[in-house]
Amino acid sequence: MYATDDENLVIVSYKDDATAFDGLKKGTITGKGVVNNRMSNRIMQMLEENGVPTHFVKELSERETLVKKVSIVPLEVIIRNISAGSFAKRFGVEEGIDFAEPTIEFSYKNDDLHDPLMNSYHALALGLATKEEINTIKSMAFKINEVMKAYFLTLGVKLVDFKLEFGRLADGTIVLADEISPDTCRFWDAETNEKLDKDRFRRDLGNVEGAYAEMQKRVFGE
């Protein structure tokens, strides 16, 4: 993140560095910064068109984007459509179960505590957000899911689950912030269930760059 002359705007610069498991695993995914920057911007613009306010202002280059400055609500908001990852592990079920309704969960953004799972009452008790803010975040997250799920299906991709972060503008307005990319979503090919996201890095599945390139191709047709 870089400051600009305008105190309400900052520049995000996307790198190829990758981490997993609270930074225990480190690596580089060549070209990832470009894919994540461009994909995140494309989706944020689509969400804006669908009435979801975001931090996006302008793509400046392949790796840099101008965004509204926010103070981040310290919650990771996770929506799931299909069982995978920590959900499958926590509840002892296989990956790939289609849910009748999407689920929502919160984690407290705190690396020292390893981002513990919490419910909205815990978030309220700790003063992380107000009741109104939590309600806004919940309804925005489900709306985002509907828009993204339908969009990715047209690209032959199942949106398994994803993580969102929200921020407050100077006037208190809640907007979608952070990024939406193969780092923060699970994408499975709709036909083969092949993983096209960061799980290839997390789980050492190989062809990590290929998965990011494939998602770039599906989104931008190149």
Q: By C-beta, is 109 or 143 nearer to ligand ASP?
A: 109
Smallest distance, ligand TMP to C-beta of residue 161, A: 4
- What span, in angstroms and rounded, lies between the C-alpha atoms of 157 and 192? 10
Residue 186, contacted partner among ligand TMP, ligand ASP, none, CB below 5-8 A by kind = ligand TMP
Longest dimension (CA), the chain: 51
Residues of span 118-177 touching ligand TMP by CB under 6 A: 161-163
By CB under 6 A, tell whether 85 contacts ligand TMP.
yes
Residue 21, contacted partner among ligand TMP, ligand ASP, none, CB below 5-8 A by kind = ligand ASP
Dihedral (C-alpha) 21, 24, 25, 26: value to the nearest 10 degrees? 120
- What span, in angstroms and rounded, lies between the C-alpha atoms of 198 and 183? 5
Q: By C-beta, is 9 or 108 nearer to ligand TMP?
A: 108
Q: By C-beta, is 38 or 198 nearer to ligand TMP?
A: 198
- Could you tell me which residues are beta bridge partners of residue 157? 189
Residues of span 166-205 touching ligand ASP by CB under 6 A: 183, 198, 202
Instruction: Report which residue's Cβ sits closest to ligand TMP.
Output: 85
Residues of span 19-58 touching ligand ASP by CB under 6 A: 19-23
CB burial of 76-101 (b: ≥16 within 10 Å; e: otherwise) equals bbbbbbbbbbebbeeeeeebeeeeee
By CB under 6 A, tell whether 55 contacts ligand TMP.
no
Q: By C-beta, is 148 or 185 nearer to ligand TMP?
A: 185
By CB under 6 A, tell whether 82 contacts ligand TMP.
no
Q: By C-beta, is 32 or 163 nearer to ligand TMP?
A: 163
Q: By C-beta, is 2 or 21 nearer to ligand ASP?
A: 21
- CA quadruple 53, 50, 79, 119: dihedral sign: positive
**Residue ranges that bind ligand TMP, judged by CB under 6 A:** 78, 84-87, 161-163, 184-186
**Residue ranges that bind ligand ASP, judged by CB under 6 A:** 19-23, 183, 198, 202
